[in-house]
Structure 1
């Protein structure tokens, strides 16, 4: 077995991908090189900690490299072997540069003897080395589980931290924790209790990084507003932008202005429609399509070029007509897709995409109408009196947090059926692409309050936390778990992992997680989560609604 990966919900048989190509589509070579890159980042961390002991800090480009490298290993983000070879080589250069600066500062490096801190192989040796440093290198399954839970949480932290960094917002404490946590996953002397504490601390920094990104997004583009978003198609050629990076969204809107090309959002970029700063662009048409996993069909019918700003790439079929009109930027990539690099001044030139769009037909309309979103914390808190009155009067009996990710598995139809079956006096709070399972259903409203309140992207799960805490205070409660809120969350990849850890850190209990519990939770670790936090899986729609509603 040369490949082993179980970081996502769709991992083979809910045990782990150990074949030539993973369920996500990455090859065993790419999977192993991702493991080697993480290994190299751990080596950097060992020396970064020594440098910090002497009052120094890694340089900004080094910290950014760390986060973007973690980000590149998230499920469905980057499938390009050459990218990982280059990043591993660069990681060794950064590691050795930090080592030299730590030594010059007087740090005692005699104890830094781990192989990841000293191995200096050539690219020709990377494949063989990568097979020895993967997930299964940690033999004890409980230690492995807790280490990987921390690492997957860090990948989510890095994703959100990278987006904030792109907007000029950063927090060195978050970088420093990532270094500390990566180094800790090498420490064979840590007890189970210490590893659990590390996992919870990762959740704490998950809260911090989502707060940082929320600040970056809202201070740059304004607070999201309640918005009706068109989901049809216009008559102009268009560019479809997917992913999560709002800075890329802004650059594309600016560069397409006056060109006769419309811009559409796809999947997790839908919430860009809610920001005031983007509404001034008349050629910002609306949203096209659904969640990421439907892209094979939807990219065909869109006709124009597609820009991926982050993860959620599905490898196209060999005969896909859209292969030559997909572009990537940032941490994501795929062999054969043109990658748009960032210039030294931080700008990106999307002119090639725009010129291609002008030559393409307009999108084929696959649906029509509008969907409503923009219920982030600032907007919902502004409506707090109305919401509180609805709860006090009994008009709203319960809120259901159904945030998270969507995916391809048939058992995810559960979430659509669950939303349909909820009593009419309940409201769904959502964020992330999980919403595509029910955001177009005619669920109506309660006294003018829509029964589906979309806060935004997966990182905007932070908004749902702020809403819950505000309601707790408004009702004079001591514990957020006393609120009439149930948590039925779908997960897929590592950004969802850090959202979960953030919720656990904040003390939220009795979260139901599906459609399956993570394969990387060993039986003993799962038992701890169940006993301490009430974590549970999902059952049938009928049984779960009875459970949640206390019937």
Structure 2
């Protein structure tokens, strides 16, 4: 199939793997998220709030990591700690993780120090390129050094550049899942080896034509399936398999801490440290599915969920009368009316905020006790979560019987990232209009468009099943594979349609995983990625039948007939 890719390009000539040949320079250029300015790229300041110097230094982090990867490959380094470090550093450049230039300066110095250490131990050296890069001593100096290393300079050929960007963004998503898994003790050297391979590509002296670059994309997708498997093993092995759980959306009288992001271990450590202190713990955003894990549910002060998706935090957080802790990605610029209540941990960073190291959340707890908390009980709706693969497959016989009897006509996976850009109400309307004999699986923060909708059940099985976080995409894949096995067919032959929303790089790598699995007919929105060139899009349409969303009515009619 990969050879078909070449036919989309004039002349089909091989493209060699060189450093950037584009001479166009930008003070800032970033197009890695769905909300990028004008649908092409942010050139003055990021729509996410990222400042130009942060964007430039993040480019330099990636360039420095290319040098570390080259060093690891040349010396044959198989140290898992080094691999995890590289994944963490790449994760810091993912959208809405870290906005602090001083932290990035530290990261770059650490990357180069580790590179030089392993080169010295291995008796190896490089005279030029990223493995010989020496960082400047100041942030301004680093910004100057970053010139020419951004994605706009990846290649002069639009299509080669597009595929290289897909690879880098995919690896950022892969790095995130890899870090989440490693934090819980789940690692595989093969994942780190691929990160080195992907980062080194373009600087390793290997000539690659377009076909070879596409091969790396699909390899990234395959490796990410392994990373998500590791993460699933870490989450379920540590905290148990999620069980269907009713989660309050109201508030309980008392002091309060709100936890956002994705990290289960951070939440667990906070729950332990707040036992007996009269503080109720609430989840925000992608932390909602944490309520389904048995080892987290054991804490009586783990109460409910507050707010919706990440992009609404500046509207919702001023009313939260407690401390707020950000784990992993999803942070926005904290507004002045609540910034004193916001804390970060792990890889998250925002200039001026208190950062909690080594799971020491005493500063968060102190602030929560200073703030008023909720002064009275406020009843509200409840929502269900906890429909991971074990929960769904435990009733697989009922699902299969329902399909055979005609009670269940079709399955929809409606999930992915949410965002502020217009057009995302499509997903709300789509779910509301799904026929009563269909089931909707959902995951990630895209569900906040419809997570509290009451759309009924089929024979006692809820029609809306929350599989979990974007981190739980492995569960969704395993559910699909199990159903295909039960019906003795391929996933593409199931009465299953994927209707996905995307925002950041985790969504990019999940898409690569779906493509690597050969899954077709994916509907993607609300807009297509700015970094996918027309020819690359043609390839995806021709080989995988990827299509943009249109309207709920038109898409439902096309799917169901």
2:413 matched residue in structure 1: 401
1:225 matched residue in structure 2: 243
For 1:192-231, what aligned pairs fall within 5 Å after superposition?
Answer: 192-231=210-249
Give the Å deviation of 1:516. 0.6
2:218–2:516 contact (8 Å) kept in structure 1: yes
2:174 to 157, 160, 183: 157
1:381 to 384, 393, 396: 393
1:146–1:195 contact (8 Å) kept in structure 2: yes
SS in 2 for 1:277: helix
1:87 and 1:366, CA in 2 relative to 1: closer, same or farther beyond 3 A? Answer: farther
For 1:76-475, what aligned pairs fall within 5 Å after superposition?
Answer: 76-103=96-123, 112-124=126-138, 125-138=141-154, 139-186=156-203, 189-317=207-335, 320-342=336-358, 348-363=359-374, 368-475=380-487
1:67–1:159 contact (8 Å) kept in structure 2: yes
1:546 matched residue in structure 2: 557
1:459–1:499 contact (8 Å) kept in structure 2: no
Query: Would you identify which runs of 4 or more consecutive aligned residues in structure 1 move more than 3 Å?
Result: 185-188, 363-367
Unaligned runs of 5+ in 1: 343-347
1:403–1:461 contact (8 Å) kept in structure 2: no
1:303–1:322 contact (8 Å) kept in structure 2: no
Across the aligned residues of Structure 1 and Structure 2, the Cα RMSD in angstroms comes to 1.4
Partner Cα distance (2:553, 2:378) in 1: 32
Partner Cα distance (2:452, 2:80) in 1: 46
For 1:33-52, what aligned pairs fall within 5 Å after superposition?
Answer: 33-52=57-76
SS in 1 for 2:283: strand
1:304–1:362 contact (8 Å) kept in structure 2: yes
Partner Cα distance (1:186, 1:137) in 2: 14
2:108–2:135 contact (8 Å) kept in structure 1: no
Question: C-alpha offsets along residues 260-315 of structure 1, whole Å, 9 cap, x if unaligned?
Answer: 00000000001110000011111000111111111112211111010000111111
1:375–1:453 contact (8 Å) kept in structure 2: yes
SS in 2 for 1:339: strand
1:64 to 69, 84, 105: 84
Partner Cα distance (2:287, 2:254) in 1: 20
SS in 1 for 2:548: coil
SS in 2 for 1:123: coil
TM-score calculated relative to the size of structure 2: 0.93
1:481 to 492, 510, 513: 492
1:261–1:283 contact (8 Å) kept in structure 2: yes
Give the Å deviation of 1:525. 1.1
Give the Å deviation of 1:367. 7.2
TM-score calculated relative to the size of structure 1: 0.94
SS in 2 for 1:101: helix
1:400 and 1:91, CA in 2 relative to 1: closer, same or farther beyond 3 A? Answer: same
Give the Å deviation of 1:356. 1.2
Partner Cα distance (2:378, 2:34) in 1: 29
Partner Cα distance (1:526, 1:132) in 2: 26
Partner Cα distance (2:553, 2:74) in 1: 55
Give the Å deviation of 1:169. 1.4
Give the Å deviation of 1:141. 1.6
1:289 and 1:484, CA in 2 relative to 1: closer, same or farther beyond 3 A? Answer: same
